[in-house]
Homo-oligomer: A and B are copies of this chain.
């Protein structure tokens, strides 16, 4: 929309479309609450104050703030596509998200990213995309796509693509590797997000010098302070599997607060539905003693500024009418949400029709040559490297255990909590299967399979016996992807994820119900993990220490090298 077209309305010469009367406007620029009315023309704010309007809504003194902005989120972690994700987060006050679609990109490359755009289009949520910088994560896995700089450059002409997503290959940046520097060069005129957990000192300075502008991986105030001092914008994260908000809030000062944004990174359906989204972070920050004005600002203006989104983040003439109304400044729970001047949610319910999703819009992605898949492990040694799961952590232990044998094969031994685990390549039916063993999942019988396995998203399956494992794995493939619990030849529970093997076509509430159900069955089979599927989804991620498994086999992450199953 051409801003010039609202000048006459701002002047007050023509009646505006909508007037929100008796608002307490949260002014994130001045830090004040202004008791006034807000005039809207089409998608934009025309002015503040008394205006003649075609339609008037009396807010009766409710607070009105800019819509919340999530600075960094992988929508796929909610296990639903953007259209459905919007249904979940828009009623919570989120009107804009900046997403890195690197889960779907690892499966379907640029086609996957385009699917995300398509799904978000004409919906109630503005979804900006940062081009995924690290697809695949490393060379020690088989992903469904490889995105190099010359693939990513084509995204730059899309107005919804605003930068380069988290550059997770921080060792490559610090080492000055061409592959990643080419990507930085390609996006040097846009925003470049970082991802550098615990990086410090001169290595961190090299990373910053390369042009990387933000980080969302800080876990301590000291880490965040070092990064902020060096010029990085800090995204404080509160994910399902990473709780950094409370520990990082002491970072915020009157001097630096405008350099800090809020993000969720990865949030599962249950957390979105039970706790919330950015609104949950804002409320928690305020509970912890942050001035509400600063908390709201970190969720709105700061993020808009960092991402150079000049059209949003504050309630001022000419900006988008992305607005939320709530009654309690100390615990904002939006009862009305407008996006671009249109009421899109009310009292926690979305006001726009649900967009049906059909898997036909995406290619099938479960491409497995089952004739080549053999889960047996020949006993070629005595002691074997075993992945040790640590509850609620993404890092694992690199254990060495005696190999349980039967008929010349190594087998799972649930009595010692040793399960077999396999990662079955599922993108190009190569027949590659990585095999290993894992302690800490706790199944007494049966198997769990999932097509969600960061970042390559091959088919990961763990179980007490090969029959259960094959049942679970085959069922996941037959569903077009998903999470499955099986025992023997029986499927006990399933969460179909036919969209790239990552996302469901069902409403998010149904996905949550299915997942809760599957986890309950898994608990009945003996697992002691809070969410065994989430734990499994990180057992294949060979960039997080210490021992991980990809379709290429075991990886000693501390040595950043493939390693044999056999320790001796």
Contact = CB atoms under 8 A, between A and B. Distances in A.
Contacts of A44: 209
Given A11-B174, A176-B4, A256 B30 contact: yes
Interface string A308-322: 100000101111000
A259 interface: yes
B208 A317 contact: yes
B30 A209 contact: no
A202 interface: yes
Interface in A423-462: none
Contacts of A259: 29
Nearest to A225: B30
Interface stretch (A226-234, A271-279, A493-501): A226-234
Interface string A398-420: 00000000000000000000000
A253 B258 CA distance: 13
B3 A209 contact: yes
A206 B317 contact: yes
A229 B29 contact: yes
A286 interface: no
Contact of A228 (B9, B29, B225, B317): B29
A2 B176 CA distance: 12
A3 B231 CA distance: 14
A317 B209 contact: yes
A203 interface: yes
Given A176-B4, A185-B4, A231-B316, A206 B10 contact: yes
Interface in A141-177: 173-174, 176
Contacts of A258: 258
Contacts of A254: 254-255
A31 B210 contact: no
A205 B10 contact: yes
A104 interface: no
A413 to B, nearest CB: 47
A508 interface: no
B6 A256 contact: no
Contacts of A8: 176, 206
Interface residues of A, number: 58
B202 A11 contact: yes
Contacts of A308: 308
Nearest to A255: B31
A123 to B, nearest CB: 26
A181 interface: yes
Interface stretch (A45-53, A114-122, A327-335, A552-560): A45-53
Given A27-B229, A29-B259, A31-B256, A209 B314 contact: no
A534 interface: no
Contacts of A55: none
B209 A46 contact: yes
B2 A32 contact: no
Question: This chain: how many copies in the complex?
Answer: 2
A562 interface: no
Contacts of A174: 7, 11
Given A255-B254, A255-B293, A30 B229 contact: yes
A309 B34 CA distance: 32
Interface in A206-251: 206, 208-211, 225, 228-231
A526 interface: no
A209 B6 contact: yes
Nearest to A28: B255
Interface centre among A3, A8, A44 (most CB of B within 10 A): A3
Interface in A303-360: 305, 308, 314, 316-319
B7 A209 contact: yes
A12 interface: yes
Interface centre among A48, A188, A202, A308 (most CB of B within 10 A): A202
Contacts of A181: 4, 7
A256 B29 contact: yes
A80 B380 CA distance: 85
Nearest to A229: B30
Contacts of A202: 10-12, 47, 49
A502 interface: no
Contacts of A208: 10, 316-318
Contacts of A317: 205-206, 208-209, 230-231
A336 B293 CA distance: 40
Contacts of A71: none
A7 B255 contact: no
Contact of A231 (B4, B10, B205, B314): B314
7 contacts: A4-B181, A4-B184, A31-B253, A47-B205, A209-B317, A209-B318, A231-B319
Interface of A: 2-4, 6-12, 27, 29-32, 34, 44-49, 173-174, 176, 181, 184-185, 188, 201-203, 205-206, 208-211, 225, 228-231, 253-256, 258-259, 293-294, 305, 308, 314, 316-319
Given A29-B231, A230-B316, 7 more contacts: A4-B181, A4-B210, A7-B206, A29-B228, A32-B229, A206-B317, A305-B305
